Amino acid sequence: MKTRARQREFGFTNWGGKRRGAGRKPKGECAGVSHARRPRLCERHPVLVTMRLRAGLPSLRANDSHELVRRSLSASSASDVFRVVEYSVQSNHLHMLVEARDAHALSHGMNSLAVRLVRGLQKLWKLCGRLFADRYHARSLLTPRAVRTALVYVLQNARKHGAWIARWPDVYSSGGSFGGWRGWKSERAATAGIRDAVSSRTAWTVRAQTWLLSIGWRRHGLIGVLEAPKHG
């Protein structure tokens, strides 16, 4: 009597496949910004924020796009609950030091800023579709030293990338109106014209209201105009 052949099941572990969280996790730039719940924000702590464009777009370090970024930052900082105090524009990303009343104010302010930037840059570059690679990255700064390190990182970021080597602040940043440079404002009249030109391009910036970003960071010394961010 014939017996029906039966296919036996192998005891493989069900890894991978089409399911939530399956597969190798991306690393480096491909990983993007974590979508985990953001930590709570305290009003007295400034926030270091980074917004990054997707690949293949024109550079932000041009006069027309920089002017658009400046107007967008200024318009988004009009309220007391959200304000951009310092910033720098790089070719494909934007660094900012922000003060916000709470996490909701930060989220609302950043969404408003992103909408202004997208609409303006799409019109300027005659493009449509998504411009930013991912959601913004934000990190609260809890100590005076952390704030000073973030100030150097933001204002001098172009020196880190080799995009700015002049002996005065980067013109594609708020460095011209920053009041914490060591010695630069007191140079002789030989550079007065340069100082005035740099300052006039960034005079819109908002005054810091938190103790950490206005006074506290100065405990660790003013910032040299040629000081570059430390790697790592």
**What is the rounded CA–CA span in Å between residue 165 and residue 162?**
7
- Across 192-225, b (16+ Cβ under 10 Å) vs e yields eebbeebeebbeebbebebebbbebbeeeeebeb
HEC sequence for 138-193: EEECCCHHHHHHHHHHHHCHHHHHCCCCCCCCCCCECHHHCCCEECHHHCCHHHHH
Confidence at residue 230, expressed as pLDDT on a 0 to 100 scale: 81
- Domains detected in the chain: 39-224 (3.30.70.1290)
Confidence at residue 104, expressed as pLDDT on a 0 to 100 scale: 93
The predicted-structure confidence for 31-77, as pLDDT tens digits, reads as follows 555 545 556 788 999 999 999 999 999 999 999 999 999 999 999 99
What would the mean pLDDT of 187-203 be, rounded to a whole number?
49
Largest CA distance in the chain: 109
Q: State which H helix or E strand residue 94 sits in.
A: strand 93-100
Confidence at residue 189, expressed as pLDDT on a 0 to 100 scale: 36
Instruction: Identify the band that residue 168 occupies on the pLDDT scale cut at 50, 70 and 90.
Output: very high
86 and 151 Cβ atoms separated by less than 8 Å: yes
110 torsion bin: left (phi>0), alpha (psi -120 to 50), beta (else): alpha
Query: Which residue did the predictor score with more confidence, 190 or 113?
Result: 113
pLDDT of 148 > 80? The answer is yes
**What is the Cα 27 distance to its own chain's centre?**
20
Percent of the chain, pLDDT > 70? 73
